[in-house]
Structure 1
Amino acid sequence: MTYKIMVLNTGSTSTKMAVYFDDKKVVQREFEHTKEFLEKYPYMADQLPMRQELADDFMREAVAEYGAFDAIVARGGILPPIHAGGYEINDVMVDYLLNVCAEEHASNVAACIAFELRRKYDIPHAYIYDGISTDELEPVARISGIPDMPRVSVTHCLNMRATAHRAASEMGRAYGDCTFIIAHLGGGISMSLHKKGLIVDVVGDDEGPFSPERAGGQQVIQLIKYLVRKNKTDMRDKLRVMRGDSGLFGYLGTSDARRVEQMIAAGDEKARLVYEAMALQIAKFIANLAASVCGKADAVILTGGLAHSKMLTDEIERRIGFIAPVKLYPGENEMESLAHGAYRILSGSERARVFRYDK
């Protein structure tokens, strides 16, 4: 039996959809959204009807071309801590993402869209897989310094776990026998430490290096003073400062690293300084995770869209090559990772969990 799987990934500037037969891609389409276009949507939830319409159009064409689907799988949003692997999308999850979650993230709308497509097209299953709030932290990694505010795990888990499995396979070893430090370099930058098959420590995109469109970790007192000075009183306005209006975009007016490198090549010293600072911060937080395993890592892995940049990865490797061999896996590989996860569930090698949360 061949399983037909629809894959949906909502990113900060794109909506991607693909059709897979089992674990083989048949067709993929990407709808790009410019920053200027998205400015008319103050909050991520406001984008839901627009992205839902795009997804519905693609789904309708796919059903006409390929017939009924067995499952739809979407990138998971910012949920309470969850396990690695798959979860059935249910009304509890959708309610949480739309009405409870206060954090702005593009992936928050993906499960909502998938849930509606499942209903409309009578698809038997709708899943998320390796959601960004996958949490397997060791107890020592949860201590934040504020007793009633433990650290949480929010990372690009989907791409990082898939890349870790790939790297281990290429090394001729089992994933569970390897220790990897992985940096996902994209619109947001997050990192994770993989040990004995678990993600035991992380650097979230709100505590680590700044990135093309996010502020990363900040000096807390300075940040509080800044938000007061700018009269940012609404929670979502405060989060907008951290996600969307900062990073490369805040300094240089673009979140496109290719454009930044063109600026550097043309002699723009500000662009050179900011880009170098981003590379330095990435390297510093990789070293941060290395301390958790006393520097004993099998590899440092750079993945995500920015890993295509030789200028950036060369500078990072120059600074952290002493820790472990550096391996490059450019691209985000998220569509393939989602499809393969759904296929493992449908074929019976994994089971999907049921999402619940305490109100």
Structure 2
Amino acid sequence: MTATRVLVLNSGSSSVKYQLLDMRDGARLAVGLVERIGEETSRLVHTPLAAADPAKRERTGPIADHGAALTAVAEELSLDGLGLDSPELAAIGHRVVHGGLRFSVPTVIDDEVLAEIERLVPVAPLHNPANITGIRTARALRPDLPQVAVFDTAFHTTMPEYAARYAIDVETADAHRIRRYGFHGTSHAYVSRETARLLGKAPEDVNVIVLHLGNGASASAVAGGRCVDTSMGLTPLEGLVMGTRSGDIDPAVTFHLMRVAGMSADDVDVLLNKRSGLVGLCGDNDMREIRRRIDAGDERARLAFDIYIHRLKKYIGAYCAVLGRVDAVVFTAGVGENAAPVREAAVAGLEELGLALDSGLNAERSDEARIVSPPYARVAVAVVPTDEELEIARQTFALVAGESLE
């Protein structure tokens, strides 16, 4: 096919992030963000990376809704000769957070697919509605163009039932779609594949533990390119300690707070999702600031860090047991890629599992995928920058071009 460009859209409740990529080489032609949609202080920041002068352009002022936001994005792209009406645009790829069990692969969006994404709103009330709005708006702007949904949950649909099921009454679970779905799937898919490439092996020959550590954080056990377990569950709340989310917690804490503290279900929801994790433990969810406070002797920051690392070690150990043989443990996302002390602390003491770090390699800053373990380590420790937008674009283009992603 002659059209080789893909526009990637990530629609939030009051924002739209976008990237335009050329799939001949994965080059970014333009990136941008529209934020505070629906407010008087709306803002669009656009960077034409393919231009001779790739300087940012900024618009401020009211942008009423997602339709107005995407219209403004189209106008900015047109100024660079990259408009939505270009014959070189092959498709629009949409990040959709929840695909349930039905959507295990990227899917061309039609009315039936959109209706199913809407039916999943009860299990993703914060994310799917915004994703749906972006899809509807983009379809209205380019009804003739393939629109593809790439689901955060899709990579994790290969989990066996014994890993995906919660041990609750089966009829109740099935009636309300209660099971472990996992999230950050595009990142785990991209990073596990890139890790195999870094090791010089095919994805089907490699077992990898992926640690996606950002403000949201998740771990996955990937056997031969297929996810067999992941830390997030029905929602992104389960699992690792995160910036503002508690991660794993005794579910009876919820009942206790409702009975003893008089908190409502909504109160507990806000507590566990927005006032817990690192910010709940020490008041900061920026790992750089937490490390600065630790260096200054702040014991509260030290405890928060230790809790974070303790949970991380537990998942590394658990997934070593799940996989049996581990070829690499890989760190990615904002904290995983940039916080050398987190990597050092997470691996420390796990020598019996075959893990070790080269302190010099670990301390180096780089934007490249790299191994930071010594040659003698039985299990490689790697840092692989994630690229969820490129992964969405790759999956979108492969689908509309009829090609294999590999």
Q: Tell me how far 1:114 sits from its aligned partner.
A: 2.9
State the one-letter code of the partner of 1:212: G
Partner amino acid, structure 1, of 2:403? S
Mark the CA change 1:104 to 1:289 in structure 2 (over 3 Å): closer, same or farther.
Answer: farther
For 1:243, what is the secondary structure of its paired residue? helix
The answer to whether structure 1 residue 342 and structure 2 residue 364 are counterparts is: no
Higher mean alpha-carbon deviation, 202-211 vs 162-171, is at: 202-211
| TM-score normalised by length of structure 1 | 0.82
Over 3 Å counting, the alpha-carbon distance change for 1:2 and 1:103 in structure 2 is closer
Higher relative contact order (CA 8 A, sep 6+): 1
Q: Corresponding residue for 2:326?
A: 297
CA contact (8 A) 1:81 1:152 kept: no
Instruction: Check the 8 A contact 1:73/1:114 in 2, yes or no.
Output: no
Match of 1:59 among 70, 74, 78: 74
> Does the aligned pair in 2 maintain the 1:72–1:123 contact within 8 Å?
no
* Residue type at the aligned position of 2:273: R
Greater displacement, 112-121 / 274-283:
112-121
Partner of residue 215, structure 2 = 187
Following the alignment from structure 1 to structure 2, what is the Cα–Cα distance between the partners of residues 11 and 117? 14
| Structure 2 residue aligned with 1:131 | 152
Counterpart AA for 2:264: T
- From 226, 231, 252, the equivalent of 2:282 is 252
| Structure 2 unmatched ranges of 5 or more | 41-62, 354-378
Which has the larger Rg?
A: 2
Is 1:29 the equivalent of 2:32? yes
Q: 1:222 to 1:343 in 2, by over 3 A?
A: same
How do 1:1-359 and structure 2 match up within 5 A?
Answer: 1-10=2-11, 15-22=16-23, 23-30=26-33, 53-64=68-79, 65-67=81-83, 68=85, 69-95=89-115, 97=117, 100-106=121-127, 109-122=130-143, 124-133=145-154, 134-148=156-170, 149=173, 151-204=179-232, 205-234=236-265, 237-294=267-324, 296-307=325-336, 308-320=338-350, 322-323=352-353, 324-330=379-385, 332-350=386-404
CA RMSD of aligned residues (A): 2.9
CA offsets per residue over residues 67-86 of structure 1, 9 Å max, x none? Answer: 32331112121231245431
Structure 1 residues 158, 105: CA separation in 2 closer, same or farther (over 3 Å shift)? Answer: farther
TM-score (norm 2): 0.73
Alignment CA distance shift 1:251-1:146 (3 Å): same
The Cα of 1:179 is off from its aligned counterpart by 0.9
Q: Which runs of 5+ in 1 are unaligned?
A: 38-47, 352-359
Identity %: 20
Asked if the contact 1:212–1:255 (Cα under 8 Å) also holds between the matched residues in 2, the reply is: yes
Structure 2 CA distance for aligned equivalents of residues 72 and 227 of structure 1: 44
Task: Please state whether the residue corresponding to 2:220 is helix, strand or coil.
Answer: strand
**2:139 alignment partner AA:** R
Native 8 Å contact 1:77 1:105 kept in 2: no
Q: Which amino acid aligns with 2:72?
A: D
Q: Deviations over 1:303-325 (max 9, x none)?
A: 11111111211111214454332
